[in-house]
């Protein structure tokens, strides 16, 4: 499901599809994007670790923090900020909104 709307947001999932504490990987263009369901809502970030391209959605989610499954770098899911080495560059994050029962990611 990838429907682009006029406001630059793309529908990526339905509400209820991603359990709390869960994640869904979608492709926007050529980019894999991980959509996380945290305690206070949905957040989207590139599904590529900035250290060496690890698939972040396959890592361990601890609260708002995702740990890369490859070498253990940790990132703030809400901001993309690096919390520990070996990564040094933040992961790009995207706006998310819920409209009706659709979860949408800003992809202008």
Q: Which residues bind ligand FES (CB under 6 A)?
A: 49, 51-54, 68, 70-73, 86-87
CB of 61 to ligand FES, least distance (A): 14
Would you state the structure tokens that stand for residue 70, as one six-digit string?
Answer: 């490859």
Nearer to ligand FES, 72 or 106 (CB): 72
- Which C-beta is closer to ligand FES: that of 10 or that of 47? 47
Please report how close the Cβ of residue 88 comes to ligand FES at its closest, in angstroms: 10
Query: Which residue in the block uniquely carries the two structure tokens 């994007």?
Result: 33
> Which residue's CB is nearer to ligand FES, number 10 or number 82?
82
Residue 23: strand pairing partners: 36
Closest approach of Cβ 5 to ligand FES, in Å? 32
> How does 29-65 read in b/e, with b if 16+ C-beta sit within 10 Å?
eeeebbbbbbeeebbbbbbbbbbeebebbebebeebb
């Amino acid at each position: 499901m990838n429907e682009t709307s006029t406001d630059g947001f793309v529908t990526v999932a339905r509400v209820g599809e991603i359990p709390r504490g869960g994640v869904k990987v979608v492709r926007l263009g050529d980019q894999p994007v991980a959509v996380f369901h945290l305690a206070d809502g949905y957040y989207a970030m590139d599904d590529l670790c900035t250290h060496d391209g690890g698939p972040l959605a396959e890592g361990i989610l601890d609260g708002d923090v995702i740990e890369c499954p490859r070498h253990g770098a940790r990132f703030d899911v809400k901001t993309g900020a690096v919390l520990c080495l070996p990564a040094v560059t933040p992961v790009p994050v995207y706006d998310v909104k819920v409209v009706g029962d659709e979860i949408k990611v800003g992809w202008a």
